Structure 1
Amino acid sequence: MSDSITSTIAGSHVKNGVPAWHLTSYIAGQPITSQQLLKVHSPYDNRLVGTVTLAGKADATAAIEKALQGGTALSRYERFSILDKTRQLLVERKEAIAQIISAESGLAIREARYETGRAHDVLMFAAMECLKDDGQIFSCDISPTGKARKIFTQREPLSLAVCITPFNHPLNQVAHKIAPAIAAGTPVILKPSEKTPLTAIKLVELLYEAGLPKHMLSVLLGPTAEIAEPLVKDPRVDIVSFTGSVAVGKHIASTAGYKKVILELGGNDPLIVMEDADLDLAVNLAAEGAYRNSGQRCTAVKRILVHESIADTFIQKLVAKTKEYTCGDPANPETRVGTVIDEAAAIYLESVVEQAVAQGARVLIGGKRHGALLEPTVIVNVPRNAVMVVRESFGPLAPVLTFTDIDDAIRLSNSTDYGLSSGIVTNNMAYALRFIRELKVGTVNINEVPGYRIESSPFGGIKDSGLGIKEGVIEAIKCFTYVKTFSLPW
């Protein structure tokens, strides 16, 4: 292809072999017409990855009205069929979607491909739940004053959900909100991150193609004051499901009004390595947990707490392991760590490393920044009050702190404002049970990374990690419904 030739392929423009996607916001399946465009650039080389036609305040209002206007209610089988067809379409186009994920987020292509697999599971499990009925039956003649009646329960969809998703899993985070809502029969207005909107819109288009009635789903990108804030505050919205920062989440909680609010606000998850741990397993979990997805996961390993008696050996092994995590071009299949979301994020991460060093910490490997690339970094002698371990550091950092005994480990683990997940490396059942009982978190995984789960199991945290169960399609479906009871003579 010559430099002057540009071809158009399925909604994208390809110039010099590099696709640029030109997508749009949708109101109930109808593309928005606007002169306002959001430009999405690659964090790696700043090339234009795509554009999105932006919406305005009137479009937000129209999306609400279209959703509430409704249409024919979908049967359980119809909801199953739509989600399952979307799953099939995702499988057929998984490589193209992975390429979009990698291009707009800077994630290594291997991570993007892995994410398509996770989203497949979300759609599969959500479809399966459509075919189940979790209604209950209560006999009323079980007490001296009881009657010959039975009480039945059934779940009814909410009228309208607003879902706001982050940049770090541009496909899976969106699937985890939309698929359970559709399984419940609840219409959704999606507001994805402006940093990674292309993947979200492609998933919306797959759902339309799979036969989802258009009123069931809109996707809007635009200024916060014109889109997100009006949607969050509108009393016609029954539920707001948000994943993102603590500051924004708490603002939503204070302004949403009288409606359900589900918040996932991040984590500061520890990997705790006891003195009896299998060190090879511990090192592998530490590296995978800290470096996968460029460390940009709410459940990433953000603090590595190691018993002081084995710390030297563990650190030596971790440094050697870190050398395997090559950092570079996200499109290269050999790259294991791509960029963080943008250069500003990398600069911040670089600064928290420098602050820790100023407090006496030492960088043993990594720590160098090249634009939005930050090398996987092992840093030791980290003070317990360092910013990089007190707050959430969203990048490929592996800070190692030592503890003296299990009491110290539990105290150190619980010392932050977050309470999402944790991983424990031990073969001692007494240790494992104490951690399960005493850690103030939503998840405790023994001999696994903090983030381990399946897409149908409940996932959520406490404290500043959020409110409510955010993921796991079974619990999420419940969030998008209410319980109706009725009774009959029996």
Structure 2
Amino acid sequence: MSTVLENTNFRAEALRIGGEKLRTARTLDVYNPYSGERVGAVAMAGIGEVRRAMDIAQAYKPTLSRYERSAILNRAAALLRERMEEASDLITAESGLCKKDSLYEIGRVADVLNFGANEALRDDGQVFSCDLTPHGKKRKVITMREPLLGVITAITPFNHPMNQVAHKVVPSVATNNRMVLKPSEKVPLSAYYFADLLYEAGLPPEMLQVVSGDPAEIADELLTHRHVDLVTFTGGVSIGKYIAAKAGYRRMVLELGGNDPLIVMDDADLDKASDLAVQGSYKNSGQRCTAVKRMLVHHKVLGEFTERVLAKTLAWRHGDPADRSNDMGTVIDAAAARHFEKVVNEAVAQGARLLTGNVRAGALYAPTVLDRVRPEMAVVREETFGPVSPIIGFQDIDEAIRISNGTAYGLSSGVCTNRLDDVTRFARELQVGTVNLWEVPGYRIELTPFGGIKDSGLGYKEGVQEAIKSFTNCKTFTLPW
């Protein structure tokens, strides 16, 4: 009989419902993907607990002023910055992300809080005169944004355990809404940590409740409960489409997968382009919807670019996530690593060439480079959500655009060229939500609009400003003038 080791910083978490820490008869264990240690356990909610949270949220009427909301968010940001090491250790322990990545994530979360605090102070209402046409009247129309009448359900994924949570919670707080959050069952500890931070900063607990559990048991209730006005979800396409079909007549914000290209033209600075390629592929263990999933490279520079990517991949240190010298930790679990190995092996069997990597040990998966990849191979046709760098050659810009647009996804892209005519064509013709020149596809700040088209998203984009729009109702008030 094998023995599961328990981490010395073990965290036992209860549900956060109505200001109470509610423990249940069943718990969900959380394991460190690298060591296998049991790092925590969270209470499992059933339908009854979800309904109770919804009823509490619906009954509560937030009255926080703009100043009070802003102060809470800024206070939470300050607390988080003071506890960066503790918070990043927690992310690393439950997700396997290396310390470099988890520390970076904490910085991003603090940014989300500060941006949300600023937006809480900003009134984006408008004033329209009505006497603009022959049949107009001497009146004015004033617009205002109000919280939703019902509750927001938020469902978050594993890849950014705290930042994905922040992008749902902060706009909700900034707009005086009430939210019931279900974090990923793989990384729930960071969500509870974040909620407690906000409570400590002064947030009324009825405005944010957290329920963890088995999605097969509680997800439908979170989607269809009579109090739910809006469902905001970040995750895979298949689940997103299920939510769209199940939630019915409700507002939805679905931020789904990506198959993001880095396009390298023949005039590109190959040292800079290969740096972007490697960083975009392996940061966060490649587990980002905006990671570089495909490298599209002009045939004139294909060989030299590939050599540079290979050399930089070989220098990318991976291993123990807690080792600060490592550039990459594990992927989320051994099952994910086995999936990457399978997809890469299929590509090799179809004619791709493995240059390095495709080595796994449990949840550790080595950074992997493939060339001679064709667009129809599953490794680039579907989203490979891990540290895999598939390189595809192209002849001209027309082919690059055709290959880039030739998948069901349309999230982000990166472009490496100095020719203005090519830049403008990519900006106009790439079927994506973001085109980044001389940057990885995933670059953004936490304030700016973010999201995709096609199978990559539905509804308003994320980013603090856009989320605030989707989390509010716009009311118009008219008066004689």
Question: TM-score by structure 2 length?
Answer: 0.98
> Could you tell me whether the CA contact under 8 Å between 1:265 and 1:464 is conserved in 2?
yes
Q: Residue 161 of structure 1: CA displacement? A: 0.4
Match of 1:220 in 2: 211
Q: Give me the whole-angstrom Cα distance separating, in 2, the residues matched to 1:225 and 1:62.
A: 19
Q: Secondary structure at the match of 1:310?
A: helix
In the alignment, is residue 26 of structure 1 matched against residue 28 of structure 2? no
Match of 1:388 in 2: 379
> Could you tell me whether the CA contact under 8 Å between 1:152 and 1:487 is conserved in 2?
yes
Residue 191 of structure 1: which of 161, 182, 192 is its match? Answer: 182
Q: Secondary structure at the match of 2:332?
A: coil
Match of 2:334 in 1: 343
In the alignment, is residue 401 of structure 1 matched against residue 401 of structure 2? no
In the alignment, is residue 70 of structure 1 matched against residue 60 of structure 2? yes
Q: Which runs of 5+ in 1 are unaligned?
A: 1-13
> Could you tell me whether the CA contact under 8 Å between 1:235 and 1:257 is conserved in 2?
no
Q: Higher mean Cα deviation, 222-231 or 428-437? A: 222-231
Q: Residue 224 of structure 1: CA displacement? A: 2.1
**Which residues in structure 2 correspond to 1:274-289 (within 5 Å)?**
274-289=265-280
In the alignment, is residue 361 of structure 1 matched against residue 361 of structure 2? no
Q: Secondary structure at the match of 1:238?
A: strand
Q: Residue 72 of structure 1: CA displacement? A: 4.4
Q: Give me the whole-angstrom Cα distance separating, in 2, the residues matched to 1:469 and 1:312.
A: 41
Q: Secondary structure at the match of 1:312?
A: helix
Q: Give me the whole-angstrom Cα distance separating, in 2, the residues matched to 1:40 and 1:387.
A: 31
In the alignment, is residue 117 of structure 1 matched against residue 107 of structure 2? yes
One-letter amino acid of the structure 2 residue matched with residue 290 of structure 1: S
**Which residues in structure 2 correspond to 1:5-404 (within 5 Å)?**
18-158=8-148, 159-404=150-395
Q: Residue 227 of structure 1: CA displacement? A: 2.1
Q: Secondary structure at the match of 1:170?
A: coil
Query: What per-residue deviation string (whole Å, max 9, x for no partner) do you get for residues 311-331 of structure 1?
Result: 000011111111221110000
Q: Give me the whole-angstrom Cα distance separating, in 1, the residues matched to 2:208 and 2:217.
A: 19
Q: Give me the whole-angstrom Cα distance separating, in 2, the residues matched to 1:226 and 1:298.
A: 26
Q: Give me the whole-angstrom Cα distance separating, in 2, the residues matched to 1:241 and 1:28.
A: 21
Q: Residue 145 of structure 1: CA displacement? A: 1.1
Q: Residue 474 of structure 1: CA displacement? A: 0.4
Query: What per-residue deviation string (whole Å, max 9, x for no partner) do you get for residues 207-237 of structure 1?
Result: 1111111110100011224422101012321
Q: Secondary structure at the match of 2:228?
A: coil
> Could you tell me whether the CA contact under 8 Å between 2:62 and 2:207 is conserved in 1?
no
Q: Residue 73 of structure 1: CA displacement? A: 1.2
One-letter amino acid of the structure 2 residue matched with residue 417 of structure 1: A
> Could you tell me whether the CA contact under 8 Å between 2:62 and 2:177 is conserved in 1?
no
Q: Higher mean Cα deviation, 24-33 or 195-204? A: 24-33
Question: TM-score by structure 1 length?
Answer: 0.96
The aligned length equals 476
> Could you tell me whether the CA contact under 8 Å between 1:109 and 1:332 is conserved in 2?
yes
Query: What per-residue deviation string (whole Å, max 9, x for no partner) do you get for residues 396-416 of structure 1?
Result: 000000000000000000000
> Could you tell me whether the CA contact under 8 Å between 1:359 and 1:383 is conserved in 2?
no
Q: Give me the whole-angstrom Cα distance separating, in 2, the residues matched to 1:470 and 1:19.
A: 37
Q: Give me the whole-angstrom Cα distance separating, in 2, the residues matched to 1:212 and 1:71.
A: 13
Q: Residue 30 of structure 1: CA displacement? A: 1.0
One-letter amino acid of the structure 2 residue matched with residue 47 of structure 1: E
Match of 1:3 in 2: none
What is the root-mean-square deviation in Å for CA atoms of aligned residues? 1.1
In the alignment, is residue 422 of structure 1 matched against residue 426 of structure 2? no
Query: What per-residue deviation string (whole Å, max 9, x for no partner) do you get for residues 420-471 of structure 1?
Result: 0000000001000000000000000011100011110000100110112342
Q: Give me the whole-angstrom Cα distance separating, in 2, the residues matched to 1:152 and 1:283.
A: 51
Q: Residue 185 of structure 1: CA displacement? A: 0.9
> Could you tell me whether the CA contact under 8 Å between 1:378 and 1:399 is conserved in 2?
yes
Query: What per-residue deviation string (whole Å, max 9, x for no partner) do you get for residues 65-93 of structure 1?
Result: 10011144111111101111111111111
> Could you tell me whether the CA contact under 8 Å between 2:51 and 2:225 is conserved in 1?
no
Match of 1:440 in 2: 431
Match of 2:469 in 1: 478
Q: Residue 146 of structure 1: CA displacement? A: 1.2
Q: Give me the whole-angstrom Cα distance separating, in 2, the residues matched to 1:161 and 1:82.
A: 20
Match of 1:6 in 2: none
> Could you tell me whether the CA contact under 8 Å between 1:424 and 1:448 is conserved in 2?
yes
One-letter amino acid of the structure 1 residue matched with residue 359 of structure 2: K
Q: Secondary structure at the match of 1:161?
A: strand
Q: Residue 107 of structure 1: CA displacement? A: 0.5
One-letter amino acid of the structure 1 residue matched with residue 349 of structure 2: A
Q: Secondary structure at the match of 2:391?
A: strand
> Could you tell me whether the CA contact under 8 Å between 1:99 and 1:109 is conserved in 2?
yes
Q: Give me the whole-angstrom Cα distance separating, in 2, the residues matched to 1:257 and 1:329.
A: 44
> Could you tell me whether the CA contact under 8 Å between 1:32 and 1:54 is conserved in 2?
no
Query: What per-residue deviation string (whole Å, max 9, x for no partner) do you get for residues 236-291 of structure 1?
Result: 21100001111111000001011101101110000000000010110000000000
One-letter amino acid of the structure 2 residue matched with residue 413 of structure 1: S
Q: Give me the whole-angstrom Cα distance separating, in 1, the residues matched to 2:23 and 2:168.
A: 26
Q: Secondary structure at the match of 2:460?
A: coil
Q: Which runs of 5+ in 2 are unaligned?
A: none
One-letter amino acid of the structure 1 residue matched with residue 99 of structure 2: I
Match of 2:449 in 1: 458
> Could you tell me whether the CA contact under 8 Å between 2:72 and 2:202 is conserved in 1?
yes
Q: Give me the whole-angstrom Cα distance separating, in 2, the residues matched to 1:125 and 1:209.
A: 19
Percentage of identical aligned residues:
54
One-letter amino acid of the structure 2 residue matched with residue 442 of structure 1: G
Query: What per-residue deviation string (whole Å, max 9, x for no partner) do you get for residues 123-163 of structure 1?
Result: 00000001110000001111111111110000011121000
Q: Give me the whole-angstrom Cα distance separating, in 1, the residues matched to 2:214 and 2:94.
A: 19
> Could you tell me whether the CA contact under 8 Å between 2:367 and 2:387 is conserved in 1?
yes
> Could you tell me whether the CA contact under 8 Å between 1:153 and 1:485 is conserved in 2?
yes
One-letter amino acid of the structure 2 residue matched with residue 410 of structure 1: I
Query: What per-residue deviation string (whole Å, max 9, x for no partner) do you get for residues 155-196 of structure 1?
Result: 011121000000000010000000011111110000000000
Match of 1:5 in 2: none
